[in-house]
Chains A and B, each alone.
Chain A
Amino acid sequence: MSDVLRGNFTPKRTVDVTEEAASLETRFEQEAMKRLGGSIAFVSKHKVVWGEENESSPSEPTPESVTITKK
């Protein structure tokens, strides 16, 4: 992209571009990012993914369970 838009002149003065002051919401989000939130983020339509059964718990999966293929 920079090759396409490369200028064909050199400005006499350096142009300083100041970013627009962050809005209250943006600043809040940035700060809040560090401290707000719950205990875990994802909320799913699934209830429990039981996964593979093992010897210690031989019971059958419930209808709502989804088995994940081992990667």
Chain B
Amino acid sequence: MKEGPGELGQKLVANMPALTQARIGELGYQNALRNQPLLGRGKSLRALRGQFSDKGDHCIVVGAGPSLHRRRVAERLRELRYQGTLIATESAMSYCLRNQLIPDLVVSLDPHAKRIVRWFGDPKLVPEDIAKDDYFSRQDMDPAFADELRSNLQMIELLNQHGKKMRIALATSASEAVVDRVIETGMEIFWWNPMYDDPNAPDSVTAKLQALNRMPCMNAGGNVGSACWMMADAVLGKKHVALTGIDFSYYGDTPYRSTQYYRDAVDLVGEEALDSIFMRVFNPHLEAWFYTDPAYMWYRNCFMEMVGDASCKTYNCTEGGILFGDNITFLPLDKYVQGTRS
């Protein structure tokens, strides 16, 4: 039976936890075991608690969503002379450094063996790797990644230059390539375990891992952008946390081809049935339509649950996307930054 627009996507949202666990749960745990001898190269996340208090109660999270470029976030932050704490996903780090913004803290979570290291500049990248995986060149995330070899070289240089000035909350699930690269650049490491399951459940993998490596376990919310927000709220204790580049969606004019699961989706339902996977959402704050895939919709749903329990006040200054609702103040970035001065 033919699925209507977004119908299959909605069904898949409910399956995202299981799909994710099947794909990377074991990988993350195995990476944690492999990283065990390297924990001494950094500190525990505990050492980050209360850090950056000299920068006040405000914090801005920079994610790598498409609005980051469309809304010129870095340029505006410089113009506005933002002085508060800045946390970036590893995927947004390149954008920040290219635009003369050095994040106070970078967060990395995903255990993927080859892709994530690209955000740090992969010294081992060869043209054959690029030919095998068009994940970066195809997507509507960072246009600079369209020329992959060039952007990789640029990122290697940038991080070699600035790494020593930066701190990274590095999940123990990180791949060998990421950990090696982080150590090489001199970034100051703060280790943490992402929660794999309920730490209070019998036979909890999370509890087992914590007993082994004694690192704090943090609820990552399914993705690194949400993990950044959690860092600001629960680790740094910031009172006012703004989100930028956290779209959890694509702009309406983005071709399906430029979305993260395009190839997988075409393989499964064919080009003609892609409308069944993607879900369209009207953002009333912007009076604009966006569309999203099952993974992003799951991230959004998870975030809406977590934000209800937050200690901080959350502002979405992304100026795009589908993250709006109870407990989130949808606000232009300029207004948020102006508020940090009062």
B-binding residues in A (CB < 8 A): 24-25, 27-29, 31-54, 56-57, 59, 62, 64, 66, 68, 70-71
User: Could you say which residues of chain B place their CB within 8 Å of the CB of A52?
Assistant: 214
Chain B residues whose C-beta falls within 8 Å of the C-beta of A48 in the assembled complex: 45, 216-219, 230, 234-235
Q: Are B309 and A47 in contact (CB under 8 A)?
A: yes
Given the complex, which residues of B lie within 8 Å of A45, measured CB to CB? 219, 309
Tell whether A59 pairs with B19 under 8 Å between CB atoms, given A43-B219, A43-B221, A48-B234. Answer: no
Chain B proximity of A41: nearest CB distance (Å): 4
Flag whether B295 is at the interface (Cβ < 8 A): yes
A58 to chain B, nearest CB (A): 9
Surface stretch bound by A, among B54-62, B251-259, B260-268: B260-268
How far, in whole Å, are A53 and B16 apart by their CA atoms in the complex?
34
Number of B residues near A (Cβ < 8 Å) is: 71
Tell me whether B269 is interfacial, beta carbon within 8 Å: yes
10 nearest CB pairs, A to B: A37-B20, A57-B46, A41-B21, A41-B20, A39-B110, A47-B234, A38-B222, A37-B19, A44-B219, A49-B217
Residues of A within 8 A of B44 (CB): 54, 56-57
Q: Which of A43, A46, A47, A59 contacts B17 (CB 8 A)?
A: A43
10 inter-chain pairs at a CB distance below 8 angstroms, sorted by A residue, are: A24-B3, A28-B8, A38-B16, A41-B16, A41-B25, A43-B17, A47-B218, A56-B44, A57-B46, A59-B46
A35 to B55, CA, bound (A): 40
| Interfacial chain B residues near A47, Cβ < 8 Å | 218-219, 230, 233-234, 309
* Residues of chain B with a CB closer than 8 A to A42's CB: 17, 21, 194-198, 206, 219
Query: Which of A36, A50, A57 is within 8 Å of B295, CB to CB?
Result: A36
Determine whether the beta carbon of B109 is less than 8 Å from that of A68: no
A32 nearest CB neighbor, chain B only:
B19
With a CB–CB cut-off of 8 A, which chain B residues contact A68? 199-200, 207, 210-211
